[in-house]
Amino acid sequence: MFRRPAIAALSPFAAVLAAVTMVGTALVGTAVGGCAEPLVLPHAPCEIGPGHERFEAVETRCDGIDNDCDGVTDALLAVDANLCATGGKGACAWSHSTCLDGFRVCPVMPSTYESYDRVDNDCDGVIDDVEPGVSVVNRARIMVPPWMWQEGPESVAALETALGQAGIPYDRDTKPEEWAVGFTHLEDYALVLMPGYMLGSLEIAQLKALETWVSKGGVLIWFRIVQGDDQEALYRMAGLLSSKQRMDATRIRIAAAPATVFLDSPQERDFLVTLDPIFEPEEVFFFLLDPQSNAEAFLFGHIGDSIHDDKEVGPVGVRRAIGYGAVYTLGLDFLAFPAPRCYVNCFDPGRDVMGLFLLGAYREACRGHTVVKHTVPGPERGVFISSHDVDAPDADNPGEWGEPGAWQMADMEKQHGVRGTYFVTTDYVAGYYTAEVVKGLCARGMCPEGGHSVQHLNWSELPAGDCDVTKATYKPASPTICGEVAVNLQILAGDVPKSTTLRSWRTPYLEISPFQFEILANHGVKTDSSLAIGDVRTNLPFATETFAFHHEDIFAHQRMIEVPISLEDGIGWYEDGVEKRLELQHGTWPRFRHHWTDILMNNAANHAWSTMLVHPSYGVGEGVGPENVLVKVEAASWAIEFAQELGLRVEQMTPLGDFWRGREGVGLEATYVEGEGYVGKLHVGEDPAPHFSLRFSDRIASFETSEAIALTIHDHVVVFTQTLAANSILGFTAKVAKD
């Protein structure tokens, strides 16, 4: 697969996870690899230059040299060799060095409120010294300023998606008149968000109500305060003197603040605003802090196109503590920036940065006691999907590479005790498709999850066509989207057991047609995986009918779950207008392993998903031959083993899509009361919720429900092993473990 040029990754990677604290401090592990140490596949030899005769098994230098021979320079692993003391205590005591502007630095980790989790979260040297007498409503509210209904409804929808993906329970204004009413119900919420722009339309009484609520412990996040004569009260509450719009910012760097506690990787603390401020300028507001206030900057805007002329301009994010709470003023919208780090095969937190920031602010607002909808249908930290496109002769047939590549891949996965996700091209035109390969996959317990078209064509120019077409009536010489979908699924349905339902899809080359989502939905497809992280810039699945970041016009509000791809067996780019592809093989494996390790570890830390696409065929490119099928199988085997070491759930895509669809519809309400624990309700939507799970910041000792239902408790996570019935309501009480 390759669709558009990939931008080189800008950041270091990490190796094997040993332990992670609940508050998102850095990962600690054991190094894997080095130039002379084979893992599953050998490292290629490398040249590191005169005066550098020896290799480093673990890179520790910021010298512009690829010392560990993985194809990426200055890539410091988050392992013991790069452990550094920050001078703090508890969760703030240690971090891992990273390279910043050519220098080795030790990032400072922020403190936050204590939870009952056996971690010194507030960094005072005492574990679980939880603040007594806390009672807090675990809920956020989006208060929509009146002018945003016309000028920026997409900003509101995008913020809603970010909250939903993060699993934070929330309400939102649904009509303009709710704005004024919201100021009288602030006590019902711990966190309040005001998207868009802050103008002079806030009345003094409204600001006073906000300030009183914040002083009692509430956390307020508002965006872009526009300069104006009537903004004095707004600026005073934010701890600012003024703001200034700029269109030349190129990157944002994040410093320690309670709300940034989960932004714990270099890519999350240093991210791009735009790739070209001249042709793609992005609006960022810079702030002048009031020296008479206690406001502190935690986001800093930079300009310049390289580390040599990069210049910090000033604050673009400010936190001001007021009483027991805080006001965060952001001069930018994390969700708006189009600049990707890559298309696939590197860790790009993208718009997930907003979700992580909101989780940190939610934890601060709830004074350390939070509950969210977990992102995994189980107790695991995250999800890993091992997926494969069966779209080449060597994937479907035996040959000098041995048995069909699809069978080799499935046999490996069966040995690991996991099931892969297979998307099959039924190319009867070229003649390589065989029903036997599908039946063999089913015999191995891995029937295809869905289709991958008939002829594996570029879809961008194809017409919609007739969707009542059959194999007998389809004319493949004049291909259509309907024909490629309908006939592909018809053929597969005839070759799999009748009990198998084909409800997932992946488009050839990840080329999106403006017709495809409506056509797929009409053919019973519920889960799609035709987009990469470079398309949507999120490492979590999402519902296409409400997604408000990108491609919403193509999604056509069809009801489907999209699962983005983050790891692939090819790296693509354009050179002099010609498409190039670097295939995964023995010589390139170190580079792929670097990127895959980075992605898997960072997504695990974020409770996110990692979807791998490895073709069970030897691929294309210089030096690639039939023996490369085994290389692909071994590389996928390494990724599965590593995902399991990280504590990820390895699962097929269709049941995961069903889980996410059910999760989308569950409404969560909860209150934490010291001495009693959490009390709340689950309101299940129109879809049943299989393997629904809740994640708490505190360890849970017991969990009782209003109706008998099967569940399991795993420290911070409660998993409902019995499907929650559609349109049901379930009350619960969770007692906290204080040992």
pLDDT over 80 at 228, yes or no? no
pLDDT digits (tens, 9 = 90+) for 110-155: 999 999 999 999 999 999 999 999 999 999 999 999 888 887 788 8
Give burial (CB, 10 Å; 0-12/13-18/19+) of 453.
Answer: buried
pLDDT over 60 at 304, yes or no? yes
Tokens of 681: 């309700």
Exposed e or buried b for every residue in 564-579, given b needs 16+ CB within 10 A?
bbbbbbbbbbeeeeee
In which residue are the tokens 């001001």 written? Answer: 320
- The CATH homologous superfamily for domain 135-367 is Class I glutamine amidotransferase (GATase) domain (3.40.50.880)
pLDDT band at residue 622 using 50, 70 and 90 as cut-offs: confident
453 or 304, greater pLDDT: 453
pLDDT digits (tens, 9 = 90+) for 433-451: 999 999 999 999 999 999 9
pLDDT over 50 at 500, yes or no? yes
pLDDT over 60 at 580, yes or no? yes
pLDDT over 70 at 223, yes or no? yes
Eight-class DSSP state of 81:
G
- Single out the residue of 372, 400, 355 nearest to residue 603, CA to CA: 355
Write the CA distances from 606 to 255, 431, 487, 677, integer angstroms.
Answer: 18, 44, 39, 25
Residue 47 has a pLDDT of 55
pLDDT over 90 at 81, yes or no? no
pLDDT over 60 at 240, yes or no? yes
Kindly give the pairing relationship between strand 311-322 and strand 296-303.
antiparallel
Fold observed for domain 666-736: Immunoglobulin-like (2.60.40)
pLDDT over 50 at 1, yes or no? no
Kindly give the pairing relationship between strand 527-528 and strand 561-562.
parallel
Q: Per CATH, is 382-658 categorized as 3.20.20.370? A: yes
Eight-class DSSP state of 565:
B
- Average pLDDT, stretch 16-35? 25
Q: What angle do CA 260, 370, 92 make, to 5 degrees?
A: 40
Contact 180, 201 (CB under 8 A): no
- Single out the residue of 418, 419, 377 nearest to residue 721, CA to CA: 377
Domain range annotation of the chain: 21-129, 135-367, 382-658, 666-736
Q: What angle do CA 118, 121, 127 make, to 5 degrees?
A: 40
pLDDT band at residue 330 using 50, 70 and 90 as cut-offs: very high
Residue 8 has a pLDDT of 25
pLDDT over 70 at 10, yes or no? no
pLDDT digits (tens, 9 = 90+) for 689-714: 999 999 999 999 999 999 999 999 99
Residue 28 has a pLDDT of 23
Mean residue pLDDT of the chain comes to 89
- What is the enclosing helix (H) or strand (E) of 287? strand 284-289
Instruction: Compute the distance between CA of residue 585 and CA of residue 629 in angstroms, rounded to an integer.
Output: 9
- Average pLDDT, stretch 624-647? 96
Q: Which amino acid is at 121?
A: N
